[in-house]
Amino acid sequence: MKRAVNVPARWRKEIERVLITEAQIARRVNALAREIERDFRGHETVVVSLLNGTVMFLADLIRHFSLPLRMDFMGVSSYGLGTESGDLVFTKELRLDVRGRDVLLVDDILDTGRTLHKVLAKMRALKPRRIKTCVLLDKISRRVEPVEADYIGFQIPDFFVVGYGLDFAERYRNLPFVGVLHPQVYKQVSKSVIRSVNSKKRPKKEKPPGKKAKKAKKKK
């Protein structure tokens, strides 16, 4: 049996356990880079990364490449209130022309597949020579779209994970490992977000005209 890795003291109230250690990530990213470089050898590659969760993974991945490459980013937001999936919104478009080029599309996690499904459709319309996809994590049990990645770092169970670029409410991206978030953390934040939105939607109560008239008389 593998020995459990202790969560650093700073994070124990929020992180339930370490799922993938820093050392495991480093070894797997190195192996992925060798596999990708072998497949893309002989062609200039355009690496397209989906913001923002890929930043740490992307940086570690491409520093192992010796092949010629260009890099661009697409901004995609696919989460609504709390942990619920919302409408997909493209927040940044590609700047580089990928027509006739080899493209490596990098994402942090393949979950339901909705995001990657729409991004791939958008990319194919730009007519690249070929597209390969690379993800750090794959939650195959949650798939609702027929999408598979060509290169996968780790397949994981249906846990709410953070760290190594992955966030919850824009926190935990800086953790050097991938950890499982305590359920009470995201449940509490989700409830507070929903309460805040509902309070903004609630119409303000109008004061009866009679009370305003009385106040006006007292001022005179």
Active centre residues (catalytic): 111
Position 136, amino acid: L
Please list the residues that pair with 74 across neighbouring strands: 50
User: For 31, phi and psi rounded to 5 degrees?
Assistant: -65, -40
Q: In angstroms, rounded to a whole number, what is the distance separating the alpha carbons of residues 115 and 106?
A: 12
- Residue 10 DSSP symbol: G
Task: Report how far Cα 54 is from the mean position of its chain's Cα atoms.
Answer: 7
> Which parts of the chain fold into alpha helices (H)?
22-40, 55-62, 114-124, 183-201, 209-219
Which structure tokens are listed for 28? 């797997």
Q: What dihedral angle (degrees, nearest 10) is formed by the CA atoms of 165, 166, 168, 174?
A: -30
SS3 45: strand
Question: Token match 């700047």: residue?
Answer: 95
Question: Token match 């966030």: residue?
Answer: 167
DSSP calls for 112-149: SSHHHHHHHHHHHTT--SEEEEEEEEE-GGG--S----
